Amino acid sequence: MTSHLPRQHGFTLVELMVALVVALIVMVGIGQVFIQSKRTAAVQDELSRLQEGGRYALHLLQENILKAGYLGCGQVANFGGNIASTGNYADNFTLAVNGYEAIGNTWSPSLPSELNADIVAGTDIITIRFAQGDGLRLTRPKEGPYLFRVNNTSLESGACPGGTDGYSGLCNGDLTVVSDCTKARTFTVQALTLNGGELSIYHDAPAWGDPADLDPNNHFNPAYSYLFKAVTVSYFIRIRDAATGVPSLYRKIGDSDAEELVEGVENMQILYGEDSDGDNIPNRFLSADNVTDFQQVVAVRIALLQRSVNEKMKRSPAAKTFTLLETSITAPADRHIRKVFSTTIQLRNQE
């Protein structure tokens, strides 16, 4: 009896080659889709970062500009010039806002020494001044020429320079402003003493002279007088470091070192809305060098040129010109993505 074994079947060499070719084509296609998806995701990520950076930069600027001129129950605009301060960069509280227009490699007006360091040429600068927070209410009329007393609200252990304690958000050396509804005066804190919840604030010799001060001691009435930390803040563009060449929006508060806020901000241009007829509506927008009186500025218009941090390698390098307000900015021939962000901000405390 003869047994028949089942015949074995397999792929021919031709079939194997066809299958390999088909598989290779499919893999190449999948690879191309993956690479393209990765590139698209990278571009979208850069675009998202660019959008987020531009919007956040405008948000930070708007947040401080809206505070400009705030001095408690009164504002810079309605004190009628009855504000005494030294008039230097940090202590010039007769101006809620002032700026510096970039002209080539210089600025007009000339930069104060506090700002004259590594700012990118061709970019504008803005300085804003305001009283910070809700203020500390005086517990008694001002005593003598060098002392205020307030209710202490907090203790900040070791928070001040040199590891000393701060009180109610204040440290020795802080610039401070006291105001009621008729006048405001600035001074520098020399010493802080706490006694039973009452904080004594000793200060330097004030720049408060006649004729504005009929009373040389300025006995501020505690019923409507408040003391604040005085804030002067400037915004400008600086290169983070020479190695990366990344431009960023920086902020300088008082005499402290400048801090980086938003990377990729390549240029900033600013116009100031000047009210010439007293209706709190800007009659014209001017560059800082053409403003006749910053006390009449009631609005600020800002434009930022935001740049992607990384270059898009498949992008053809080409120079491009952008218009920021009334200024044309020619970007270098690189592969960065750029976009202009702009806004107009009405000053609340100039009304």
Q: What is the pLDDT of residues 206-257, one digit of tens each?
A: 655 444 455 545 568 888 888 999 999 999 999 988 888 899 999 999 988 9
pLDDT at 209: 44
- The pair of three-digit structure tokens given for residue 239, joined into one six-digit string: 């290169």
* Alpha carbons 19 and 10: distance in angstroms, whole number: 13
Burial class (CB in 10 A: 0-12, 13-18, 19+), 201: buried
pLDDT at 9: 61
pLDDT band for position 54 (cuts 50, 70, 90)? very high
pLDDT at 37: 62
Q: Residue 204: is its pLDDT beyond 70?
A: yes
pTM here? 0.83
Under 8 Å between Cβ of 208 and 185: yes
- What average pLDDT does the structure give for the chain? 84
Q: What percent of the chain has pLDDT over 70?
A: 83
Cβ of 253: how many Cβ atoms within 10 Å? Answer: 14
- Give tens-digit pLDDT for 81-101: 666 677 789 888 888 899 999
Each as own residue / partner, the long-range contacts of residues 98-106 (CB below 8 Å, 24 or more positions apart, any chain) are 98/126, 98/127, 98/288, 98/294, 99/124, 99/125, 99/126, 99/127, 99/270, 99/272, 99/288, 99/291, 99/294, 100/124, 100/125, 100/126, 100/127, 100/288, 101/270, 101/287, 101/288, 101/289, 101/290, 103/289
- The pair of three-digit structure tokens given for residue 160, joined into one six-digit string: 């001040």
Which residues are CB-contacts of 293 (< 8 A; sequence separation ≥ 6)?
Answer: 274
* Alpha carbons 94 and 82: distance in angstroms, whole number: 9
pLDDT at 3: 57
Which residues are CB-contacts of 158 (< 8 A; sequence separation ≥ 6)?
Answer: 164, 165
pLDDT higher at 26 or 197 = 197
Question: Any idea which of 9-18, 57-66, 107-116 has the lowest mean pLDDT?
Answer: 9-18
Place of tokens 């393209």: 36
* Alpha carbons 129 and 116: distance in angstroms, whole number: 19
- Give tens-digit pLDDT for 133-169: 889 999 988 766 688 899 999 999 999 988 999 999 9
- Give tens-digit pLDDT for 169-191: 999 999 988 888 778 888 889 99
Amino acid at 56: Y
pLDDT band for position 317 (cuts 50, 70, 90)? confident
Amino acid at 109: P
pLDDT band for position 340 (cuts 50, 70, 90)? very high
SS3 at position 161: helix
CA distances from 173 to 127, 148, 258 (A): 21, 15, 18
Under 8 Å between Cβ of 306 and 324: no
Under 8 Å between Cβ of 225 and 149: no
Place of tokens 């210089």: 106
* Alpha carbons 83 and 65: distance in angstroms, whole number: 20
Under 8 Å between Cβ of 264 and 244: no
